[in-house]
Structure 1
Amino acid sequence: MNAMDTRAAAQRFADTWQHGWTHHDVDAIIALYSDDAVHTSMPFRAPHTGKQAIADYIRWSFTGESDPHVTFATPIVDADQAAIEFRVHSLDNATPTTLAGCVIARFNADGLATHTRDYWHTSQNG
């Protein structure tokens, strides 16, 4: 995959996650991943392997969250990888919360994410 294809895949990933998270559209988000993708949320958690495990994790992470305002920055791309910062302002179990983080994604020749890794932190705004 050349840099331009990776840039397009990374921008599609960011745009789809931004819209999908805003609307809790797990199906749109999971379509970004290869069947055998591996996702790690935070450095010391066990990875989620395969689309179903990743979808289950995403559904779980949306539980209790309402009215999210989601923004993803322009991806920083190198070879077949991208780093993308994100920020989410929401009500988490009725408490105003901000989540800020970064996802690092590797893409295959079809533009699907094969490996993703998140680093994030939350802050209570209330």
Structure 2
Amino acid sequence: MEIAAAQEFARRWAEAWNAHDLDAVLSHFSEDAEFSSPVAAQLLPETGGVLRGKEAIRAYWSVGLERIPDLHFEVVDVYTGLNLVVINYRNHVGGLVNEVLRLNDRGLVASGAGTYLVADAAAASGARSESGER
């Protein structure tokens, strides 16, 4: 993937998240996309942190948007690889996060993963305090 295309993808991705427009965020994903996140593992332990299919991802992110009304992402940098986009961003609580997204041949996310610098990703995301509250 060309860096200009990856940067444009990241710009639209962040714009959708910052508008809290879940349909716009999910428009980047294929119907059978898979997404993994340590936050999902903490908040929805029954998933093992892996969400399969756009509707499962929607359900998880809907909870996130409810729990984090001040959610906001600032793209710090964008990296690209073969069919990969990595979006390095700072979240609303100042934490650095990487979203690693593998695209299919139609340019939609086939699989993705949220990665964090700390063990308690839910607290780092603002979805839950370190004491478990939110």
Q: TM-score range, shorter-chain basis?
A: 0.7 to 0.9
Larger mean CA deviation between 109-118 and 55-64 belongs to 55-64
Q: Are the structure 2 counterparts of residues 49 and 42 from structure 1 closer, same or farther at C-alpha, using a change threshold of 3 Å? A: same
5+ long unaligned stretches in structure 1: 90-96
In structure 2, what is the equivalent of residue 40 of structure 1? 36
The AA in structure 2 aligned to 1:83 is V
The AA in structure 2 aligned to 1:62 is L
5+ long unaligned stretches in structure 2: 42-47, 127-134
Residue in structure 2 matching 1:82, options 73, 82, 85? 85
What is the CA–CA distance in structure 1 between the aligned matches of 2:98 and 2:25, rounded to whole Å? Answer: 16
What is the CA–CA distance in structure 1 between the aligned matches of 2:50 and 2:26, rounded to whole Å? Answer: 16
In structure 1, what is the equivalent of residue 98 of structure 2? 102
Q: How far is 1:123 from its partner?
A: 7.6
The AA in structure 2 aligned to 1:109 is D
In structure 1, what is the equivalent of residue 70 of structure 2? 67
Q: Is the 8 A contact 1:14 1:73 kept in 2?
A: no
What is the CA–CA distance in structure 1 between the aligned matches of 2:125 and 2:109, rounded to whole Å? Answer: 28
Higher relative contact order (CA 8 A, sep 6+): 1
Q: How far is 1:7 from its partner?
A: 5.3
- TM-score (norm: length of structure 2): 0.72
What is the CA–CA distance in structure 1 between the aligned matches of 2:63 and 2:94, rounded to whole Å? Answer: 18
- TM-score (norm: length of structure 1): 0.76
What is the CA–CA distance in structure 1 between the aligned matches of 2:31 and 2:63, rounded to whole Å? Answer: 19
Provide the aligned length of Structure 1 versus Structure 2.
113
Higher strand fraction: Structure 1 or Structure 2? Answer: 1
Q: How far is 1:21 from its partner?
A: 1.8
Q: Are the structure 2 counterparts of residues 40 and 123 from structure 1 closer, same or farther at C-alpha, using a change threshold of 3 Å? A: closer
